[in-house]
Structure 1
């Protein structure tokens, strides 16, 4: 058991990658839609590329979304309108009328014979009004015409009547005046007019609840199919154009096949298939890192960062599809290549983007169109996005990416529809929103720098500003070291540009590589302006200790000021494991009979492990040594640089830095040229 634990401990980096791989596979497969995959691919307006297709089972032809929407709209437009006939209201009105007439009979001087006639007319008007129904005009119902059929609910009975049968207040008043008699009215007729106007109340009301219930029932009873295909029936011939009924039948077959595939008995097999495909994609990513980016592969933090971004893009796209597939193209997948190119390189960014888009092809509709569009956009992203610290660059690049989205979608649309009249222009707004959201890449870059400790060009630009607190302090306390760092930064930047390394990174690292000297500036010759050398009072061992300690103190100072690890790497490695040769030789001269332990005069390392750190080591040593030349000439500079680099090579300082002999020769050539320009003597001007 202890051996197993020791083995796991020794190989903890590999164990971590395996666990990360498994977690990523499970998480991505979990996000995949719970449905089978149709084994044929087809597009509207394209020819059927497979053999003649026959139905292998019975299935219904599904109506399209447009057909269902039109049918629902038709039901809503022609829905039954229900009204309630209130019988109690009629009874109440008749009672009120009788009461009013009786009160008139006892108080008014209308002759009895005339009053009896008025009562007869009044009852006739009441019966006539409520025979047709008195409609309340305060109820909300859709605009109906006179000949529209509506349904009147009277108690437990429902009958269909014309809407024009109902009387409204205007009609009721006209009916009263028509039956009372001719104008001018006498006293009795006026009394009857007032009584009828007062007691007659609406008794027909629109029943909104029952109407809505009836409409909901009709909508629920809509048939989602429009025909049946039986087993053995020909669906489409090879070469036929996929359109019209054939398209509808194929779409129905696809839905039915996917539902049949995704059954409980097949569930585990389909999950197993998804797991294999996702595993292959992520394995390709790991193999790419292992073969072409070993410095990233060995760094678990960076591998985690890459896998996290892949999962994040798939998660966001999945959520959008789940809640509203119409916003499919709003998700700014171009953020992924932008971020990866910023922190790593273009090749890794494009490779990861392509794998991510291929995985998303499992969950999106029209997968070929989606994959083609996003891969083209990803290529444009990689080709155009550069130097994010220049504000205009990102704006121009995202504008180009958005334009590519629009052009590609436009092309697909006219291919499928045969013309431009059916293009969904709303997608162009989605692509514009996609472009705007792509600016979030700056936010993600900032957050990733804080979370994963990565460094972008934007941060490097900020750090390389000589007005930053740390560099300003270096200039004040150790001006000679500051000038040396500036010269080394210029040399290193030129050398990096020559061999295609990260010039911004190496320049920034060069500016900070000697910050440890500011704690004891007078012990370093470039800061000794008075001619007094404090090393004269120290032993060679003590002097070597002070010189060597500027690396350790520089690392501590950098961490105190929260410099990124990639910058601290330059402080660690700029002397590698070389000797403080001057004091080592001095110790040998003072003690010729003793065997001097070189480890007391040796920098702790590590040796450079990237092209950029190797460049800094060469440039730092070359610039410092060039100051020792009393009469610098082209020949002396060339011999000096060759000697320094050969010594570093013989000490195996570059074996971990992935730098070639050819690149080292190019670096030497650049340094020689720059130093010759620096030490070029001007002609002496006459007095």
Structure 2
């Protein structure tokens, strides 16, 4: 008999059943003098229940890959229905299926859209000019789509190998076409979008996307030779290898699996580098972006336009080479594109090949054809080298950023020498100032602004005698002040600090070009000179 049964029977034998106080005293006395023989043990009961639960096999059915659950036009039995429901739940867990509800479809789309939107907002801060070129925006969108599509393909066919996701390709293209900052941001954003997909929940996809994208963006910051691609492949492969080793050390993979992932990652870098080299010319043609590889090709002296300039206007060619050295050093000093500055200088006066004899650097002593022309005609010929240069640039299909050096290095400056000659000629009517001004536009980039100053500096130093470092600095200061006062640098994104750095670099470079020669005794056939230019353009 249990204790509860005993108390119930004791109450029935109570002499005064209507007394509540008596009942309470009776129960208290019975509980004090009697102990139950059966006591419930809840802890042991729960332990045995758990043991029984674990002993039951949770797998009711085993469905092997490729096994048919139910065929077409067959009756769906209760067993088949259970299997179909289980299959749907597993596909949802893996991300290979979507919920039938609208929220189940819209939720992931909204999540990924918000993450991708972060990139486009950051692009507004770090490279605003991209939004002014719809083709560049379309290219970025295409590269994003390629990375996401590649991730989707890997998730379907090889989800266990996330090192094959082609994020390095997108990072390489963005770095070469835009810059490393844009590429780095894009790599991180795409890594999140691809890596958080449910299908990759059992693999370190997010980790390898970050490793591949960041290593590719960092390794290809400078691409000026095809040999640089080998370095890129090695760095991407090293990044994947280090990542695979890190995962392998956690015990997730065997040594063989770790080496396989590292090898696949290196192959990903190799294919990405090859695709980058193959598709860069197409991307440049579609977006009008000029990469360093194209600039290096344009700097080849054997190119038809440069060869023609060197043969038909050798003085202009020498002037362009001297300017290129100045401009490249100054641009690198202020953080601009030194290679673009050099190549732009090569082509900035290419229009002079039409009438090379009318420009002083190509004239011989005592033979100046301007002596036979009036000032206005001379100014027209001088002005024409800008329009002639643009026509030659168009025929040679020079990129816009290079062709811009032709008109912008003069801006809207006045052709001072011939304007003064026209005013002093006393021919009657006063000369029109518009006939003695270059057509412009003014410099719109740091590189063309530096070229404008360098052009005037190099030309002025060719006519100065007894050059000293003090005279060089004074001449450069005068030219810079003149350009600033005339407003020629107003449209260029260059600061006063950068202008000061340009001046310092010009002084350093030009002082090195002109050195103090030793006075040799006349008895030895030497020439006495205290300070003479070592090179004259």
Both structures adopt the same fold (TM-score exceeding 0.5): yes
Structure 1 counterpart of 2:499:
664
Tell me, in whole angstroms, the C-alpha distance in 2 between the residues paired with 1:468 and 1:63: 76
Residue of structure 1 in register with 2:100 after alignment: 263
Alignment of 1:456 onto 2:291: yes
Is 1:651 the equivalent of 2:477? no
* 1:158-190 deviation per Cα after TM superposition (whole angstroms, max 9, x unaligned): xxxxxxxxxxxxxxxxxxxxxxxxxxxxxxxxx
User: Structure 1's 364 and 576: CA in aligned 2 closer, same or farther, altered over 3 A?
Assistant: farther
Match of residue 462 from structure 2: 627
CA–CA distance in structure 2, aligned partners of residues 343 and 421 of structure 1: 38
In the comparison of the two structures, how many residue pairs are matched?
457
Q: Distance in 2 between matches of 1:509 and 1:646?
A: 24
Shift of 1:461: 1.3
Matched position secondary structure for 2:300 = coil
- For the Cα contact (< 8 Å) 1:364–1:370, is it kept in 2? no
2-structure distance, mates of 1:382, 1:315: 20
1:366 aligns with 2:197: no
Q: Does 1:356 align with 2:190?
A: yes
Alignment of 1:372-383 (within 5 A): 372-383=207-218
- CA 1:294–1:424: 2 relative to 1, 3 Å: closer
Q: Are the aligned partners of 1:577 and 1:603 in contact in 2 as well (CA < 8 Å)?
A: yes
CA contact (8 A) 1:490 1:507 kept: yes
CA–CA distance in 1 between the matches of 2:373 and 2:295?
39
- Is 2:476 aligned against 1:641? yes
- Inter-CA distance 635–303: structure 2 relative to 1 (3 Å threshold): same
Shift of 1:315: 2.6
Q: 1:558 aligns to what?
A: 393
2:196, 2:206 within 8 Å by CA — same for their partners in 1? no
Question: What are the within-5 Å matches in structure 2 for residues 471-482 of structure 1?
Answer: 471-482=306-317
Matched, 1:321 2:158: no
The structure that has the greater radius of gyration is: 1
- Which stretches in structure 2 are left out of the alignment for 5+ residues? 1-56, 68-73, 526-537
CA distance in 2, matches of 1:457, 1:588: 47
**1:356 & 1:415 partners in 2: Cα distance?**
25
Q: CA deviation at 1:398?
A: 1.4
Are residue 570 (structure 1) and residue 405 (structure 2) matched? yes
Shift in CA distance, 62/309, structure 1 to aligned 2, threshold 3 Å = farther
The answer to whether the Cα contact below 8 Å between 2:244 and 2:258 also exists between their aligned partners in 1 is no
Correspondence 1:383-532 to 2 at 5 A: 383-415=218-250, 417=252, 420=254, 423=257, 425-440=259-274, 441-532=276-367
Alignment of 1:98-247 (within 5 A): none
What CA deviation, in whole Å up to 9, does each residue of 1:316-365 have, x standing for no partner? 33344345545643243212222222222211121122222233235473
Report the alpha carbon displacement of residue 274 of structure 1 after superposing the two structures with TM: 4.6
Distance in 2 between residues matched to 1:627 and 1:673, nearest whole Å: 17
Deviation (angstroms), 1:253: 7.0
Query: Whole-Å Cα distance in 1 between the matches of residues 118 and 444 of structure 2?
Result: 25
| Cα pair 1:61 1:252 within 8 Å, conserved | no
- Checking the alignment, whether the CA contact within 8 Å between 2:244 and 2:259 is kept in structure 1 is no
Asked if the contact 2:155–2:199 (Cα under 8 Å) also holds between the matched residues in 1, the reply is no
Residue equivalent to 2:135: 301
Cα 1:632/1:409, change in 2 over 3 Å: same
Report deviation, 1:402: 1.2
TM-score, length of structure 2 as denominator length: 0.76
Structure 2 match to 1:21:
none
Aligned mates of 1:63, 1:500 — CA distance in 2 = 68
String of CA shifts for 1:18-39, please: whole Å, max 9, x gaps: xxxxxxxxxxxxxxxxxxxxxx
Cross-structure match for 2:32:
none
1:658 CA drift (Å): 1.6
Q: State the alpha-carbon separation in 2 of the partners of residues 490 and 551 from structure 1.
A: 22
8 Å CA contact 1:62, 1:252 repeated in 2: no
Task: Please list the CA deviations of residues 145-167 of structure 1 after superposition, one character each: whole Å capped at 9, or x if unmatched.
Answer: xxxxxxxxxxxxxxxxxxxxxxx
Contact kept in structure 1, 2:233 and 2:266, CA below 8 Å: no
Match for residue 418 of structure 2 among 583, 586, 594 = 583
How much is the aligned-residue C-alpha RMSD, in angstroms?
Answer: 3.6
Contact 1:318–1:363 (CA<8 Å) still a contact in 2? Answer: no
TM-score calculated relative to the size of structure 1 = 0.60
Distance between the aligned counterparts of 2:261 and 2:271, measured in 1? 15
- Structure 2 Cα separation of the partners of residues 363 and 70 of structure 1: 22
Query: In the aligned structure 1, how far is the partner of 2:389 from the partner of 2:330?
Result: 24
CA distance in 2, matches of 1:327, 1:257: 15
Relative distance call for 1:364 and 1:612 in structure 2 (3 A) is farther
User: Does the CA contact (< 8 Å) of 2:151 and 2:166 recur in 1?
Assistant: no
Answer yes or no: is 1:289 the counterpart of 2:123.
yes
CA 1:432/1:673 → structure 2, altered by over 3 Å: closer, same or farther? Answer: closer
- Residue deviations 1:346-390, cap 9 Å, x none? 111211222222332354733682222222332222332243233
Distance 1:278 1:648, change over 3 A: farther
Unaligned ranges ≥5, structure 1 = 1-59, 73-216, 230-248
The question of whether the paired residues in 2 share the 8 Å contact of 1:63 and 1:225 is answered with no
CA distance in 1, matches of 2:491, 2:520: 50
CA contact (8 A) 2:116 2:190 kept: no
CA shift in 2, pair 1:519/1:438, >3 Å: same
Counterpart CA distance in 1 for 2:151 and 2:60 is: 28
Q: Shift of the alpha carbon at 1:683? A: 1.9
What per-residue deviation string (whole Å, max 9, x for no partner) do you get for residues 107-160 of structure 1?
Answer: xxxxxxxxxxxxxxxxxxxxxxxxxxxxxxxxxxxxxxxxxxxxxxxxxxxxxx
Change in Cα spacing, 1:649 to 1:279, as seen in structure 2 (3 Å) is farther
Higher relative contact order (CA 8 A, sep 6+): 1
Match of 2:174 in 1: 340
- 1:474 positional shift: 0.3
Asked if 1:598 is matched to 2:406, the reply is no
